[in-house]
């Protein structure tokens, strides 16, 4: 039986740095990692599935969940509310899988306050020009929301110091190799697998 302490891995980045692609690659390769499905008041984009990408929630329900203290963390991001429920973390812990969070820097800070062993990975675009290009390429944003997201990206990058790892996404395969290396190394940190050595000594 795997008694290693589950890993909580927070992946944050400004919009357009390629975080979603990298998280999806990790989830496709490792069956023992689960994606933490956030609640949001943002409307779904085309191809987004309720209960898979997000729990799409109306504002009243979200506020009720805040009042009922159902969130580990929640924040306003780009004019909408996003939150991680305690239920997500409990469910992952119960099934012994690692959990990956795609949250902004505010969420990352709150998760780390509640779970100091959680690790934070911040993904950076290689340059401002490349960030602008990637934001445009998404094609689902209006010019106004694009401008909002660009300004927010700079504000988000200013929080790089709150993370444990900085990953420049210059090339998706190269960046993925390094994200994978972070996961594999963190999994064998002494405090997460000391039980094995202790069992040998018993
Ligand atoms: P998007 O609307 O593009 O899916 O996400 C916008 C931003 O909200 C991203 O930076 C994403 O990481 C962040 N986000 C998604 N879910 C959560 C959450 O549960 N909590 C917080 N704090 N941020 C979130």
Name the region of 83 (left: φ>0; alpha: ψ -120 to 50; beta: rest): beta
How far is the centre of ligand 1, averaged over its atoms, from the C-alpha of 189 (Å)? Answer: 28
Residue 2 has pLDDT above 60, yes or no: no
For the chain, what is the mean pLDDT? 92
Domains of the chain, each with CATH number or no CATH: 8-201 (3.40.50.300)
DSSP strand pairing (98-102 vs 71-77): unpaired
Q: Which residues have a Cβ under 8 Å from the Cβ of 167 and sit 6 or more positions away?
A: 22, 121, 122, 123, 124, 175, 178, 179, 182
12-42: pLDDT as tens digits: 998 778 888 999 999 999 999 999 999 999 9
Query: How far is it, in rounded angstroms, from Cα 121 to Cα 9?
Result: 7
What is the residue whose two structure tokens read 């996961």? 183
- SS in 3 state form for 97-135? CEEEEECCHHHHHHHHHHCCCCEEEEEECCCHHHHHHHH
Tell me the pLDDT band of 1, cut-offs 50, 70 and 90. Answer: very low
* Ligand 1 atom index nearest CA of 54: 16
Tell me the pLDDT band of 150, cut-offs 50, 70 and 90. Answer: confident
Rounded to an integer, the average pLDDT of 61-67 is 98
Closest alpha carbon to 150 in 126, 132, 123: 132
Per-residue confidence (pLDDT) for residue 140, from 0 to 100: 65
Beta bridge partners, 34, equal 99
Query: Measuring from each residue's beta carbon to the nearest atom of ligand 1, which residues come in under 6 Å?
Result: 15, 38, 42, 73, 75, 77-78, 82-84, 102-104, 106-107
74-84: pLDDT as tens digits: 999 988 999 99
Helix residue ranges, H only, 11-142 = 19-29, 59-67, 86-95, 105-114, 128-138
pTM of the model: 0.91
Show the tokens assigned to 168: 């420049």
125-149: pLDDT as tens digits: 999 888 888 888 766 668 887 887 7
How far is the centre of ligand 1, averaged over its atoms, from the C-alpha of 202 (Å)? Answer: 45
């Amino acid at each position: 039986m795997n008694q290693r302490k589950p890993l909580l891995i927070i992946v944050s980045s400004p919009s357009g740095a390629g975080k979603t692609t990298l998280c999806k690659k990790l989830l496709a390769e490792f069956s023992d990692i689960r994606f933490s499905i956030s609640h949001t008041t943002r409307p779904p984009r085309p191809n987004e599935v309720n209960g898979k990408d997000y729990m799409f929630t109306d504002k009243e329900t979200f506020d009720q969940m805040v009042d009922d203290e159902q969130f580990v963390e929640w924040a306003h991001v780009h004019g909408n509310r996003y939150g991680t429920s305690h239920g997500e973390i409990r469910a992952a812990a119960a099934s012994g899988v690692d959990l990956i969070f795609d949250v902004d820097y505010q969420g990352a800070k709150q998760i780390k306050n509640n779970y100091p062993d959680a690790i934070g990975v911040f993904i950076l675009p290689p340059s401002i020009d490349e960030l602008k290009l990637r934001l445009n390429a998404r094609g689902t944003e209006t010019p106004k929301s694009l401008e909002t997201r660009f300004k927010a990206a700079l504000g988000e990058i200013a929080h790089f110091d709150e993370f444990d790892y900085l990953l420049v996404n210059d090339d998706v395969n190269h960046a993925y190799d390094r994200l994978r290396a972070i996961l594999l190394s963190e999994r064998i940190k002494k405090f997460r697998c000391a039980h094995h050595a202790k069992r040998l000594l018993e």
